[in-house]
Amino acid sequence: MRNILVLGAGKSSIYLIDYLVKHAPAQQWHVTVADVSAELALHKTKNRPHTQARSFDFNHTTGRQALIKAADVVISMLPAAMHPTIAKDCLRLRKHLVTPSYISEAMQGLHAEAVKRGLVFMNEIGLDPGIDHMSSMQVIHRLNAEGKVITGYKSHCGGLIAPESDTNPWHYKFTWNPRNVILAGQGDGFIQYLEQGKKRKLKYEQLFSTTSALQVRGYGNFESYPNRDSLKYIGLYGLQDVKTMYRGTLRRPLFCAGWQWLVDLGFTGVQELDTAAFQKRVSRLLKSRAALVPSRIHQLLEATAVLPALYNHSAKSLVPAQLLQSVLEEQWALQPKDKDMVVMVHEFFYRKGRVNKKLQSSLVVLGENQEHTAMAKTVGLPLGMVTKLILNQAVKATGVLMPKDSEVYNPILAELETYGIGFKEKITKT
């Protein structure tokens, strides 16, 4: 019997846990799900055979390490800041590790030791990052093998609301961690990308006013805003000849324009401020810019109800981003029968001889309801699938990894298609 430990039973874990439980009998797995709430862990395992639900205190070192010691593979669904601590435990106890999060400097610093101990620390194996890497690398390697020179690459992804559940003027509801949505673009240093041979570098304050339009057949119009540092993917993806390298986040039209106003007004700030002073600042800005605010943006701001919440705030101090989050969590909450939607689009610009073409590869996944979301499905299933590969010794590389090798992406992308998660391609001349 091989033991899998899942740390965290939050929103994105349901498909992961169901996948592991489904394969447990044939694969001879025992699945332990540990969460700060034992009740939540039990809700996800449902007392099914080959499972165990446990309470888990991250700060209790002895208890945490005892859980990890009993596992063969640890899947961390905890906040990204906790991953390095779990990784150090896994190094010490010689356990493989899987996470859906971006590789941090702290995690990368463990690479040499993980290689030395023959361990797989697979990161960035969810949706974005995750499916984006695997689907992109599969096409890149295929185009290279066909003798085509890739001159540009763009990738866009968004967790959105399905058309039938789109009931507010922002065309958005929370399908993942609300705090990450509120703080998107902050704390990442400069946002940068390559466009037609020129490096573009943005500050956070410019981010949501820098968008590009995108259309997905059957699902209408979207806008893409730049996501973090795109330039590092030139090396990671082996695209040294590209003149364009861009990774973006998708929203429906007007969202970014409305959000830019919330940024300008200070509602995404994370510093504690004097309430009265902030109220005066917002009033002054709105008054001075009244003629510049389009009626549609006025409607968006009114729809958030954040202005009344600010003016009715009675405490002496506040953190604007926390106030905004508390208001939007109510306004943008998924209802029980709501369906979310994941949209991912890659654009590969390439040439062979004198012919220039664009290959567009697109993915749309619709959720089932408030709990069985497209976000949980596209994050959770790749995690379960790579865990199966690791336990069956199909992943030969060791160390701190991301899923950009064919030994990982080919079997996972093929299995994802059996779950209705597959890309459609269209080639046009440019």
How many angstroms separate the CA atoms of 260 and 211, rounded? 11
Report whether 157 contacts 249 (CB < 8 A): yes
Kindly report the CA angle at 277 between 272 and 283, in degrees rounded to 5?
A: 120
Total-model pTM: 0.93
Report whether 349 contacts 150 (CB < 8 A): yes
Residues of the chain whose pLDDT is less than 50?
none
pLDDT score, position 290: 67
Q: For the segment 241-273, what is each residue's pLDDT rounded down to a tens digit? A: 999 999 999 999 999 999 999 999 999 999 999
Domains of the chain: 2-128+373-421 (3.40.50.720), 131-366 (3.30.360.10)
pLDDT score, position 297: 84
Instruction: Kindly report the number of other CB atoms within 10 A of residue 223's CB atom.
Output: 21
426 CB contacts (<8 Å, ≥6 apart)?
A: 359, 360, 362
Mean pLDDT value across the chain: 95
Pairing of strands 149-161, 340-352: antiparallel
pLDDT score, position 296: 84
pLDDT score, position 190: 78
